[in-house]
Structure 1
């Protein structure tokens, strides 16, 4: 019988450490992951939306596809920018097993992938997290990164300070030592991990701000026309990706400097496949500056959906 998992079901089932480990495990063994469909759709009077279709399957095990819409204009309506549905089936019989809330699944697996990268790439003694952005992902990133690192200080910056204060207050209610900040440069210069979750099309974090040993986590810019860091950040840091193929086709933080001839394919040291399989050791020294760019991978969705289905008794 087909199971239906709403946002609350998904959130409860996806505890951070088991989810991070599940994504790590599926990157290690791999699955079939066709290139995702990526379509823009016009919305009269506002910025275009994006429709994403993301399939993946593990042979003889599970098969899944996610349909997600991203509508930047929803911020003005007080609605989440991301919504969607995940459909999980048997890869042996084709039987429909479960339908899951895609927005919650996406938010949690995205944050978990960043935390997984942070496990490999950030300094183990990182104590100051800066989250840039105040959307749905901001609290998830705080929780996920905190499952890997013990932060004494968490800073939140947003274009609207009052929204950053709102996120900080909610983070405090969840037990985190968080505060809103208005000076992005000064805070970034002192942060050990900077996690960006915006829909920006212009750099927010500059390379000259990154202290030696800092880790920059770029989550939000998922189109070639979007970016959250400048060229200097990409040049000063050791660059890693969730998947090379995804980042090289859609990650503006990498695609733009590559198109400008500033970097080439080899500038990406490794992706989560390489890190999970031990093909790259990750951070090489305490002074190394690292950058992780993600655009999302259907493998991560599949890993999360399997956890939900099996945890909830599927």
Structure 2
């Protein structure tokens, strides 16, 4: 059985292609999608600085492919020189039920998540967006930079982290990406056309009063109710609110469930990527609108990326 390791996944990944695969998956839909966060005491370990989680994300497109990602999130791992996210993806042939490939789960998560944000930006951000701000110093941030730059004419990238000394823009600059370290978050947000956040913040780092008209806000990091990256003012200023999948955002992610609980919107007001890609609900309507997107992930996204990478590998050999 084929195994695509991290190096091979990164070699195969091209963001325009992955964005196209995600759009196609959202248009055609998926027959089965689930998300399970195993939270029994033996499977979630509470500790002094947070918690360790194990997530299972299956999806099935009948007669095409099905698969499951098993991924662990251990936030303290970087202190041990280990990735915070680790796991594996198992891909099956949907016609015969045959296991056909495994893929490195961490690498798949990085490229899929970045491509998902780029897909939303391609559908929602201004076509002339030129200044990108990425917040976060984890492994995902460089991929978000590359993915957003692949779908918009980005002329300048600001990269912000609470620990700026840990950021290394050199590999991105070597790829021709115009990356510079941002010192003042307030000032960077005021200037940005696209803001992409990938943090584990529990208190919002993005204030709605900082957002300029026409910007696009891409919230990626928080996947639990207690996590928030943008405040209520940012939610209120957005013309509409978009999520990738209701299963992993509404009632799950703090940036969505907290404003809903506060009565700032109703669940029916939220637009998901299935609806947007099918033309069932509106996207951006003018260049002064603020667009707000929350990425929670989902098994259908992993399946779309896994089958794309598998087919690309087979086609190259």
Task: Confirm or deny a common fold (TM above 0.5).
Answer: yes
TM-score of the aligned structures, taking structure 2 as reference length? 0.94
Count of aligned pairs between the two proteins = 310
What RMSD over aligned residues (CA atoms) do the two structures have, in Å?
1.3
Residue aligning to 2:203: 202
Unaligned 5+ residue runs, structure 2? none
Q: How many angstroms does 1:249 deviate by?
A: 2.7
Once the two structures are superposed, residues 251-274 of structure 1 have per-residue CA deviations (whole angstroms, 9 ceiling, x without a partner) of 210101212223221332x21111
Q: How many angstroms does 1:4 deviate by?
A: 0.7
Residue aligning to 1:273: 274
Residue aligning to 1:87: 90
Q: What is the correspondence of 1:143-182 to structure 2 with a 5 Å cutoff?
A: 143-164=146-167, 166=168, 168-182=169-183
Residue aligning to 2:143: 140
Residue aligning to 2:126: 123
For 1:271 and 1:125, the matched residues in 2 are separated by: 24
Contact 1:169 1:179 in 2 (8 A): no
Residue aligning to 2:34: 35
Unaligned 5+ residue runs, structure 1? none
Residue aligning to 1:303: 304
Residue aligning to 1:12: 11
Once the two structures are superposed, residues 23-74 of structure 1 have per-residue CA deviations (whole angstroms, 9 ceiling, x without a partner) of 1001100112332111241155542111110000111111100001111111
For 2:197 and 2:112, the matched residues in 1 are separated by: 15
The secondary structure found in structure 1 opposite 2:77 is helix
The secondary structure found in structure 2 opposite 1:72 is coil
Match of 1:248 among 236, 247, 250: 250
For 1:46 and 1:92, the matched residues in 2 are separated by: 45
Residue aligning to 1:21: 20
Contact 1:223 1:252 in 2 (8 A): yes
The secondary structure found in structure 1 opposite 2:258 is helix
Contact 1:33 1:298 in 2 (8 A): no
Contact 1:156 1:179 in 2 (8 A): yes
Residue aligning to 2:294: 293
Q: How many angstroms does 1:120 deviate by?
A: 0.9
Per mean C-alpha deviation after superposition, the further-off stretch among 149-158 and 78-87 is 78-87
Per mean C-alpha deviation after superposition, the further-off stretch among 190-199 and 70-79 is 70-79
